Structure 1
Amino acid sequence: MSEEKKVFTDSGIEIKRLYTDPVPMSEQPGEFPFTRGVQPDMYRGKLWTMRQYAGFSTAEESNKRYHYLLSQGVMGLSVAFDLPTQIGYDSDHALAEGEVGKVGVAIDSLEDMQTLFKGIRLEDVSTSMTINATGFILLAFYTALAKQQGADLKKISGTIQNDILKEYAARGTYIYPPKPSMRIITDIFEWCSMEVPKWNTISISGYHIREAGSTAVQEIAFTLSNGRAYVKAALEKGLDINVFGKRLSFFFNAHNNLFEEVAKFRAARRMWAQMMKELGATDPKAQMLRFHTQTGGSTLTAQQPLNNIARVTVQTMSAVLGGTQSLHTNGYDEALSLPTEEAARIALRTQQIVAYESGLADTVDPLAGSYYVEALTNEVEAQAWKLIHSIDAMGGSVSAIEQGFIQDEIARSAYNYQREIETGEKIIVGVNKFQVNETDSIPLFKIDDSIRQLQSEKLASLRNRRDPARVDQMLQLLSDRATNGENIMPAVLEAVENLCTLGEIADTLREVFGEYKG
């Protein structure tokens, strides 16, 4: 290792790379079970990726925001998709009305993906895509575009969320039943390991479980349990845990209780390392829990929205102190609308101030050895294992979801939290205490319904220009592959390259797999 640069406080006190007890702690960062971090030097070597989540309206409008964010210092892109894209409907479908471009960008075809990343070389940027049921289609769009750009697919990096189990439990953007959905996910694992080996094939997500009302303990228990279900499915397919295990990543929420959140992140790393070791992983990189964090959307208030800047700052600190690999910070106005450009900039600046001015990044695992943090880490872990053992007794995550156990647990926690706010047992500043009569309004970001008309016109043009016989041939090939159990990803890639739309591909598999009604 090259000689490290010296780091000092503002008073000139040298900051050590790592602090330990007078009797050295046996566990080191970068070593199993990774409680103290996945890298020996953590942020002294490389800061976390500052990855701002953005996507709205058309691909053209989102492309402008991406160029703006890149100019302001983001290190990676994170794409939000609209609801029709998430559940496999083209923008001109009857069920898409009123939703096109509202909570994310509308992507119907490879041509939309070309527009979304216009002027951005995919080989030079890491991209995270928050997409689940249709994640395999968006990955195919992205790969097809990379090929068109002449990129080396072995260098393409990024993540698709691709975590369908939490959709059944907490979020609802599913299409197919659990078993075929799990099959699609393992097809992605297998295909990516050969074609795009640096791609993170899944981002096992506690974020939406927490947003639905879970506690911190439930967030990691349910997320890690889901993660183990994906690993077991991949092992049953004959995949090598030491290969696909390195490409698993996680996505967690950061809330306001700073110490509990830090303890949660530390406990999750330790628990996952143990799980993966028990499942047969021997490569340390396949035992590591690497995670992205987003600050807590559900913690933001419509009342006195500027207070949310302070909330996001505390949450940012918890993620950094907890050892996150990448981070998105929410805009202060997100309880009211999609973030304005100003709100997005302040959110990014919050990360940059923590990174460059606070000193939090100067040493590894700075809260280690605190009696409180170590005890809390142990307690969070013990309670999470207890929940996981309950899920195991039901036959694992898929069975627990089918029986409604996870959904019921989240609902109970959400109810208790809301009751505490309403009784005043829990104080939310500006909501149930320290209220003011607000007269000033903040500017809101609005999406016009005319977006659907624009997207529909693009689709009509695309259908007129493409070869209909070739499209039919590609969709039939996909149907055959899905029916006979072959890996569907090569057929999906070929379909998108021949301008089949997202809705057409999703519908082809609806005919084979059916739809999950919940």
Structure 2
Amino acid sequence: MAVDYRKPDRQGFSESADPYRGNRQYRTLSGIPIKETYTADDLPDSQTIGEPGNYPFTRGIHQNMYRGRFWTMRQFAGFGTARETNQRFRYLLEHGQTGLSVAFDMPTLMGLDSDDAHSLGEVGREGVAIDSVEDMERLFQDIPLDQVSTSMTINGPGPIIWAMYLVAAERQGVSWDKLRGTLQADILKEYIAQKEWLFPPRPSMRVIVDMMAFATEHVPQWNSISISGYHIREAGSTAAQELAFTLADGFAYVEAGIAAGLDVNKFAPRLSFFFNSHIDFFEEIAKFRAARRIWARHLKEKYGATNPKAWMMRFHTQTAGCSLTAQQPENNIVRTAFEALAAVLGGTQSLHTNSMDEVLSLPTEKAVKIALRTQQIIAYETGVTNTVDPLAGSYFIEALTDEMERQAEEYFQRIEEIGGVLNGIENGFFQREIAEASYRYQKELENHEQIMVGVNAFEEPTEEKIPILKIDPSVERQQIESVRAWRNSRSGADVERTLNHLRDCCREETAPLMPAIIDCVRAGATEGEIAQAMKDVFGTWRERPVF
């Protein structure tokens, strides 16, 4: 029931005309208590703040930050077939987007071909369907891959989709050393939060290390992993948990690379990060600043990296999907703007702004253009990019940054005590922590300790409907026909030969995997066929239930 905010009290009106003020808790969204006033006594050691572009990079990884160049404006996009998504890519580029970010449909994310029985009803619904290198070529038709940076949100099947991208670049005549972009491929956070994996955790780590090694040697401008806190936060974690669990995953990849004999000074500079920018403005800025400082210190002091580029945390940010509401969806434009501003003030290198309708469907062209314009207004109109880290030295910001770091270090100690990230995944530690945080937040909403405008406050009896994007069911039929026609056009013998070689490589613990996967793609194998060949050796995995 909507609250009458004009209800009179003894003075005639409620305090500040705000019926929710009595329940207000002065703490961050994650529960960190906020003092009424901050002074110089609350500041951490000034030596940890430093200068922009210098260790420990609290104030940013570049001396001139956005005065040198803006962040990459990279809108996440993908729906239907490769041809339809290609049209959306070109629409966004024409309107000023400066990088591409590919959203794949659920079958592709799960390593399934579009005609697999488990794909029924999901083809092209939540992203673009990619079954073969032919689809990948269509996806980037008329988009020169040596002139655009591409991010691909794919994890379990990451090496397969990346191989398709590399072969598509070959067919464009683009050499791999000219390719710029990022593969998400963060399999640890899949077990922790997003739940889209193909193999058990330990074989998956072998695949990740193989990709890191291959990128370092053959695709030097490519980020082999985008270590992702975004999905951890979307699953219900606090900001401190997002920070700690994401960095713990990053450290696990570093340790795995070092254990495999890779040079940390060579592979660590190509590890990037992906964070959520939620609605608690100052908490998010502090989280970003703390993340850079923690990563730099650990890489230098714990892992012995001497290359300053290995110390520098580069990250992409996406505004918080879980902060968007189906109620009064136009309010989401405002939420996204504040979240994007926090990401910019926090020093992001790349940014996706959610569209107002994403809680209802894939975004329409109008909604995605508004989201892109939000970034452009921040960049060109607000003035916040004119100076580097304008909030540095704020008593509140520096104290909150220090507190975020302290909480993250406490989590690192707990993770070490349980035997590391893989043990934590296998015994459900991360899953329990996130579930408990999510439960606490939901109770706070129900008790009006947290306010979400239009949901538990300032509701409206009727909701205005907005246009949404609908995927025609014919898309699925077209994609199924396409993948079957592709199978009929190739040499079955070549496909089987390369798949068998891949199985042999998977059985041999020290054999490189990426060259074998690329050979399968060149022979015409589909994503589902390659994924199944690897499952034949590695097996699958069911997580331990968490109560």
Structure 2 residue matching 1:337: 3-state secondary structure: coil
Is the CA contact (8 Å cut-off) linking 2:227 and 2:246 kept in structure 1? yes
1:119 aligns with 2:120: no
Is the CA contact (8 Å cut-off) linking 2:155 and 2:185 kept in structure 1? yes
Picking from 54, 66, 85, the partner of 1:62 is: 85
Q: Distance in 1 between matches of 2:462 and 2:498?
A: 57
Equivalent AA in structure 1 for residue 55 of structure 2: F
Is the CA contact (8 Å cut-off) linking 1:331 and 1:339 kept in structure 2? yes
Is the CA contact (8 Å cut-off) linking 2:73 and 2:372 kept in structure 1? yes
Aligned to 2:540: 515
Aligned to 2:506: 482
Q: What does 1:175-186 align with in structure 2 at a 5 Å threshold?
A: 175-186=198-209
Aligned to 1:92: 115
Structure 2, unmatched stretches of 5+, are 1-45
Q: What does 1:222-241 align with in structure 2 at a 5 Å threshold?
A: 222-241=245-264
Structure 1 residue matching 2:342: 3-state secondary structure: helix
Aligned to 1:43: 66
- How many Å apart are 1:182 and its aligned residue? 0.3
Q: What does 1:283-322 align with in structure 2 at a 5 Å threshold?
A: 283-322=307-346
1:212 aligns with 2:243: no
- May I ask how many residue pairs the two structures share in their alignment? 498
Equivalent AA in structure 1 for residue 228 of structure 2: S
Residues 202-260 of structure 1: CA deviation (Å, up to 9, x unaligned) = 00000000000000000010000011011111111100000000100000000111100
Aligned to 1:458: 482
Picking from 322, 343, 346, the partner of 2:367 is: 343
Q: Distance in 1 between matches of 2:121 and 2:139?
A: 21
Aligned to 1:159: 182
Percent identity of paired positions between Structure 1 and Structure 2: 55
TM-score, normalised relative to structure 1: 0.95
Aligned to 1:249: 272
Picking from 458, 464, 471, the partner of 1:447 is: 471
- How many Å apart are 1:451 and its aligned residue? 2.0
- How many Å apart are 1:448 and its aligned residue? 2.2
Query: CA 1:439/1:224 → structure 2, altered by over 3 Å: closer, same or farther?
Result: closer
Structure 1 residue matching 2:227: 3-state secondary structure: strand
Q: Distance in 2 between matches of 1:109 and 1:70?
A: 25
Q: Distance in 1 between matches of 2:297 and 2:135?
A: 42
- How many Å apart are 1:436 and its aligned residue? 0.9
Is the CA contact (8 Å cut-off) linking 1:304 and 1:438 kept in structure 2? no
Q: Distance in 1 between matches of 2:413 and 2:389?
A: 29
Aligned to 2:22: none
Aligned to 1:504: 529
Q: Distance in 1 between matches of 2:132 and 2:327?
A: 39
Residues 302-332 of structure 1: CA deviation (Å, up to 9, x unaligned) = 0000001110010011000000000000000
Is the CA contact (8 Å cut-off) linking 2:327 and 2:463 kept in structure 1? no
- How many Å apart are 1:155 and its aligned residue? 1.3
Residues 56-109 of structure 1: CA deviation (Å, up to 9, x unaligned) = 111011001000000000000000001110111000000001111111100000
Structure 2 residue matching 1:323: 3-state secondary structure: coil
TM-score, normalised relative to structure 2: 0.90
1:137 aligns with 2:144: no
Aligned to 2:38: none
Structure 1, unmatched stretches of 5+, are 1-22
Query: CA 1:252/1:26 → structure 2, altered by over 3 Å: closer, same or farther?
Result: closer
Q: Distance in 2 between matches of 1:372 and 1:307?
A: 28
Q: Distance in 2 between matches of 1:135 and 1:439?
A: 40
Residues 483-508 of structure 1: CA deviation (Å, up to 9, x unaligned) = 11201100111111111000000000
Equivalent AA in structure 2 for residue 57 of structure 1: G
Picking from 76, 83, 87, the partner of 2:106 is: 83
Is the CA contact (8 Å cut-off) linking 1:92 and 1:456 kept in structure 2? yes
Runs of 4+ in 1 over 4 A off after TM superposition: 23-26
Query: CA 1:24/1:464 → structure 2, altered by over 3 Å: closer, same or farther?
Result: closer
Query: CA 1:25/1:477 → structure 2, altered by over 3 Å: closer, same or farther?
Result: closer
